Amino acid sequence: MSGLSMFAAMIAAHAVCDYPLQGDFLAKAKNRAMPIPGVPWWQALGAHAAIHGGAVGLITGIWWLGLLEVAAHFIIDDLKCTGRLGTGAKAFNLDQLGHLTCKIVWVIIAVSVSA
């Protein structure tokens, strides 16, 4: 798969993982600042990040890039949920920029490894 095709696939997968596959429950439960009572926020955030990591691993064919995505996605989303990226549209845009930047890095690594 070309780098451009890989990038396009990761962006499409990100949209699917961040919207329909996340759903209202995970979107609320992953937030340590306003957790759902009785639901460990870190489990919900970990599950959400693992969904993203699975997509990256499947698309790149490199399992450890999937693990890097899990870690990066967990950290970026936690920064957003705890207000460390700001609030409102600013936080949303910085969150998505962080995820997009990771995808660019993963493609560069994947193309370099397979070359």
Q: Where do the domains of the chain lie?
A: 3-114
- Identify the bridge partners of residue 108 per DSSP, sorted by sequence position: none
3-state secondary structure of 39: coil
Spatial CB neighbours of 63, under 8 Å, sequence gap ≥ 6: 57
Is the Cβ–Cβ distance between 99 and 73 less than 8 Å?
Answer: yes
Q: How confident is the model at residue 114 (pLDDT cuts 50, 70, 90)?
A: confident
Percent of the chain with pLDDT over 90: 97
Mean pLDDT of the chain: 96
Helices (H), strands (E): how many in the chain?
Answer: 5, 0
Q: What's the rounded Cα separation, in Å, for the pair 20 and 23?
A: 6
86 DSSP β-pair partners = 84
pTM: 0.94
